[in-house]
Amino acid sequence: MTGPIDLRSYALEDDEIELARMVRAFADEVVAPRAYEADRTHTLPLDVVAQMGELGLFGLPFPEKVGGQGGTYLALGLAIEALARADQSIAITLEAAVSLGAMPVFRFGTDAQRDELLPDLLAGRALAGFGLTEPEAGSDAGATRTTARRDDGEWVIEGSKQFITNSGTPLTRFVTVTAVTGREGDRPQISTIIVPSGTPGFTVGPAYDKVGWRASDTHPLSFDGCRVPEGNLLGEEGRGFANFLHILDEGRIAIAALATGAAEGCLEAALDYARSRVVFGAPLATRQGIQFTLARMQARVHTARLAWVRAAHLRDAGRPFKTEAAIAKLVSGDAAMDNARDATQIFGGNGFMNEYPVARHYRDSKILEIGEGTTEVQLLVIARALGVA
- The catalytic residue positions are 372
Would you tell me the crossing angle of helices 88-96 and 46-54 to the nearest 10 degrees? 60
Which helix (H) or strand (E) covers residue 127, if one does? strand 127-131
Q: How far, in Å, CA of 30 to CA of 53, rounded?
A: 14
Backbone φ and ψ for 24, nearest 5 degrees, come out as -60, -40
Long-range interactions of 309-318: CB distance < 8 A, separation 24+: 309/10, 309/12, 309/74, 309/77, 311/252, 311/253, 311/256, 312/72, 312/73, 312/74, 312/77, 312/253, 312/257, 313/74, 315/73, 315/250, 315/253, 316/72, 316/73, 316/74
Q: How far is CA 380 from the centre of its chain?
A: 21
Q: Are 74 and 251 in contact (CB under 8 A)?
A: no
Q: How far, in Å, CA of 377 to CA of 389, rounded?
A: 12
Which residues are paired to 176 by β-bridges? 130, 194
